[in-house]
A and B are shown apart, each in its own frame.
Chain A
């Protein structure tokens, strides 16, 4: 079975631009979460979506937005890119939203801002 897939794998943008990152969850998984991982640190939670509704939001500015589609895939959008947005963006999926369910991560999109 395919795992969580993210696209693109690498992306280079310049300051002020906009970016869209995509995530396809494991088949049957209805929850998608997004994380940002800056070099040398653990991942930081950005958003969680379940059944196409936002269920959680981390401490990120409004430049960050996301949505989940009827097929449970998801997009993360970042506007007005800053140098500090350079990071690995990770998507994770799970079947539901109970605390005993593990999350399964993709290998991320490496975003570089010039």
Chain B
């Protein structure tokens, strides 16, 4: 199964950076790492994805370890609207594509 491990919860203060870790020690060489977040009463929202290199977009940065066994989602300046459940997912593609295996995720609390 496409297993990842994340802390159950994390807390941050508004306007501070947040580093959300994810372990995926059994990842294969062609699996992408995707991050989604889910705000209350909404469907999951795509955040970012990557394969080997670090990635940046308007929402966040993704740092992938050299051995690819872990990654970190970085929110550069947390806002109250970033309070959500964050899911780290291995996307194996091929016949597995479309089957995103969500774990429990990390509940991020942002304090004013």
Chain B residues closer than 8 Å to A92, beta-carbon distance: 43-44, 100
A-B contact count (CB 8 A): 78
Which chain A residue shows the least CB distance to B41?
Answer: A107
| Interface size class of chain B, counting residues whose CB lies under 8 Å from the partner chain | 20 to 34
Residue numbers in B under 8 Å from A84 (CB-CB): none
Instruction: Name the prevailing secondary structure of the B interface residues.
Output: loop
Given contacts A99-B30, A102-B34, A103-B46, contact A56 B96 (CB under 8 A): yes
Q: How far is the CB of B102 from chain A (nearest CB, A)?
A: 3
CB B64 to nearest CB in A, in angstroms, measures 14
In the complex, chain B residues whose CB is within 8 Å of the CB of A35:
100, 102
Contacts of B87 in A (CB 8 A): 42
How far is A6 from B101 in the complex, measured between Cα atoms in Å?
21
User: A6: nearest residue on chain B (CB-CB)?
Assistant: B43
Interface core residue of A48, A101, A102 (most chain B CB under 10 Å): A102
Judge whether A104 and B46 touch: CB under 8 Å. Answer: yes
Taking residues whose C-beta sits less than 8 angstroms from the other chain, chain A's interface range is: 20 to 34
CA distance A100 to B91 in the complex (A): 8
Interface presence of A31 (CB below 8 A): yes
Within 8 A of A (CB), among B55-104: 85, 87, 91-104
Q: When the two chains form their complex, are residues B97 and A97 in contact, meaning their CB atoms are under 8 A apart?
A: yes
Which residue in chain B gives the minimum CB-CB distance to A104?
B46
Whether B43 lies near A50 (C-beta < 8 A) is: no
A99-B97 CB under 8 A given contacts A42-B102, A42-B104, A42-B105: yes
On whether the beta carbons of B98 and A50 are closer than 8 Å, the reply is yes
CB proximity of A109 to chain B, nearest CB, Å: 10
Q: Are A44 and B102 in contact (CB under 8 A)?
A: yes
Closest chain A residue, CB of each to CB of B48: A102
Counting chain A CB atoms within 10 Å of each CB, the highest count among B91, B93, B94, B98 belongs to B98
Chain B residues engaging chain A, CB cutoff 8 angstroms: 30-32, 34, 36, 41-46, 49, 51, 85, 87, 91-105
